[in-house]
Each structure stands twice: as C-alpha cells, then as structure tokens.
Amino acid sequence: MSAGRTAAPSRDGVPVTLRLLPHALVASTGYVLFAVAALPDLLSARLGIGPSAFGLLTSAPLGAFVLVQPLASRLSDRRPTAVVLLWAAAVHVALAAALDLAEGFATLLALRFAWGLVAGLVLSVGATHVARLRRGPGSTLEQGVFGGMLTLGGAAAFLLAGPVVAATGGPGLHAVGIVPGVVALACGLRNRGDRRTAPRVSSNAQASDDSGTSTDGPGGRSARETLATVTNPTVLVAALSYVAVIGSYVTLSTFVTSYFGELGVLGPLNALVLVGATAGRVAGGVAGWRFPGSDATFVVVSVAAAAAGFAALASGPGGRLLVALPFATMVALSVPFGAVFDLAAGATEAEGVALAAVVAAGNVAALVLPPVAGALRETTGGYAGVFGMLALLNGVTAVCAVALAGGRHAEGGR
C-alpha cells in the first residue's frame, strides 16, 4: 500500500498530493527555466558575457529537453511516474540551488544543461503522470492546467526574480522557484509506493513475456512496438501540432520585446506574454472539459486561429491591431496545449513513449525556429517574413489535423 493512499485526502480515489505532484514540479521548473531571462543585463555584466553567450545560456536547457526524451520514454514505460517524478524533484531542487551558487559562465552553462535534462523529464513524465490518472475530457483539462503551471512559473520569475536579487544583493535568482519544487518533493515522498501511475503493458509485450521472447524496447515493448507508437498517425499529428504551437510560441516570445520596442510600447512584456499563455492553456483545458468533443477538432480550431493571426500580422495591419494581434495569437497558440497532449496520450497504450516523442519534436522546433526567424528578420528588415513563416507552419498543421479529425469522426472515435 502506498504511503499516501490512506493518509492523504483523495478525489476519485486518488490522493490530492498525487495529483498535485506534477503541477507543483512543473511550476518550479518554469520559474527556474525563465529566471535567467528575467535579468539579462545584470547577469551579462556579472558574468562578463555578450548577447551570443547569453543566448546560449538561455537556450541550453532546450537542447537538453530533446536529448533526454529517450530516457524519459524508457523510465515512464518501466516505472510508475510518481517514482520518476520523486527522483526528478530531488535532483531538480539540488541543481536549482546549485545554479544560485554557480560562479563563472562555463559553470553556469554546464549546470543549466544538466538541469535541463531533469526539466525535460519533468515535462514528458509529468504529462504521462496526468494521462495515467485522468481519462476523457478531464484529462484535457488537467493537461491544460499542467501546461499553464509551466508558464505561470515563468511569469512569476519575470515578476519576482528582480526584486529578490535586489533585496539580497546578488543571490536568490532561483530561490522562489525552489519552493514549489520542495512541495513537489514532499508530494512525491508521500506517494513513493504508488502503483496507480504504473505503465500499462501492451498485449504484445505480455505475449512476449509469456513466451520467453526477448524485447529490446522500453518497458518490455519491442523496438517494433516503440517504432509503431512514434509513427502512429495520431501521434505524428500531435507532434506536428506541438511543433507549431511551441515553435511559434517560443519564436514570438523571443522577438516580442524588440517588436513592441519598435512600436514604442514598453512594460513587463515577457511577464504579460507568459500570463496570456497561462490563461490560454488553462482556458483550453476548461473548454475541452466543459465542451467534450474531438481533441483533433479542438487543435484544428486553435492552430487555424493562430495561422490567421500570423497572416494578419504579416499583412502589416495598422493601429491597435499591431499591439493586440500578437497577444491574441499567443493565446490561440496556448489554448490547444492540453488537447495536444491528450491526443497523443490517448492514441496508444505506450503513452509515455508518445508524449516523449511529442515533447522532443516541439523542443527541436523551439531551438531551430528562433534563429531562422532572426535570419529572416535580418534579411528582410522587418517581421513580415517571420509572421508569414509561422502562418504557413500553423496552416499546414491545421490541414493535417483536419484530415485526422475527419478520419476519427468517420471511425466514431474521440
């Protein structure tokens, strides 16, 4: 019997602490991820680095997010996600504290990369954890909240990191973000014996076990089963959707300050963008819960709206639309977060493998698209080419999701 099964309050038979675990941990992850970007001038001066080195510092975790996904897939397909998240929380808290003590650019860069490996585990294993505890429309809701907690943590970093560092005279950049990490660690310890989040075993894998046939895939799954999971048409559309959503979101947020600066609009823009993303992700989850339907259809509407927003921006609107459209488009990109994860998780018994593939694809796009957008802006001297590229990406994604939604509707599936 798990440590938290009799002591913790429960909902639907699941302890509240077990549900809280991924949300608290991903909020802490969001804070640590964005804390460095909250104080670019201060950190650049302290470390004696220029814009390129600072960009490497901020992007290092994204590369780690991609590299760790095979391990995330393997762990979530072999272990209860509650156990994986417990160990991830412990390492995350330790590395976040070490980041505050690091001196020198090389040390901080290495620690950011190492921390990014853990954060990548949190993203895909946390989403798998949610998928194993919730089914149906409730899963879309909770996946939306899970994504919203990541961006909420980032917004908190932009608002709180500066005042904390100013008050301490230097240290404490990640201190506030460690607090929800400690909460997650406590939740993990309370549920360390949990079996509710254990992986489901496929019928083929079970047959292989019974016959004594060896398997070389994760969790007793054969390599063929693993390949079948990541090439499942629904998983592929979910991955493409995540590429469009996360790639566009990161690209837009990368240039939002300079874009609005050219318009003479000043303020805590990064925090506002992240708050908008949080609202969009949670609202999307609520909509998926209150108005049950096809996740694929929900993705179609959202990415089509984002494509329309980017196309309008590329056409060079005037007046207030120049200011309003980027925020409206950011919200549209954020709305389908829960539906994308729920779509991938519901497509196969190997939900951990599917979600790891989706997270990896999205973060590759987050690494590649901003430099491409920067080159386009430098070549053209404006943002029209950037917005046109993102409109095309989201438009193609909408078409693919339409095809999937039509096929699933014909089959009578969700």
Residue 288: left (phi > 0), alpha (psi -120 to 50), or beta? alpha
Alpha-carbon span 121 to 360, nearest angstrom:
11
pLDDT string in tens for the chain (414-residue length)? 333 334 445 556 789 999 999 999 999 999 999 999 888 888 889 899 888 888 888 889 999 999 999 999 999 989 999 999 999 999 999 999 999 988 899 999 999 999 999 999 999 999 999 999 987 778 888 999 999 999 999 999 999 999 999 998 777 899 999 999 999 999 999 999 888 999 876 544 444 444 443 333 445 567 788 888 888 999 999 999 999 999 998 888 878 777 887 778 777 778 888 888 999 999 888 888 787 667 888 889 999 999 999 999 998 777 778 888 888 998 999 999 999 999 998 888 889 999 999 999 999 999 999 999 988 988 988 889 999 999 999 999 999 888 876 665 555 544
Asked if residues 301 and 369 have their Cβ atoms less than 8 Å apart, the reply is no
Burial level of 379, CB count in 10 A (0-12/13-18/19+)?
exposed
Buried b / exposed e over 265-297, threshold 16 CB at 10 Å, is: eeeebbbbbbbbbbbbbbbbbebbbeeeebbbb
Asked if residues 54 and 40 have their Cβ atoms less than 8 Å apart, the reply is yes
pLDDT for residue 256:
78
The pTM of this model reads 0.86
pLDDT for residue 408:
57
Asked if residues 244 and 337 have their Cβ atoms less than 8 Å apart, the reply is no
What count of other Cβ atoms lies within 10 Å of the Cβ of residue 101?
Answer: 11
Q: Which domains does the chain have, with CATH numbers?
A: 1-199 (1.20.1250.20), 221-414 (1.20.1250.20)
pLDDT for residue 92:
98
Which residue type is seen at 135?
Answer: R
Alpha-carbon span 156 to 290, nearest angstrom:
28
Burial level of 363, CB count in 10 A (0-12/13-18/19+)?
buried
Asked if residues 62 and 366 have their Cβ atoms less than 8 Å apart, the reply is yes
pLDDT for residue 258:
77
Burial level of 336, CB count in 10 A (0-12/13-18/19+)?
buried
Asked if residues 257 and 270 have their Cβ atoms less than 8 Å apart, the reply is yes
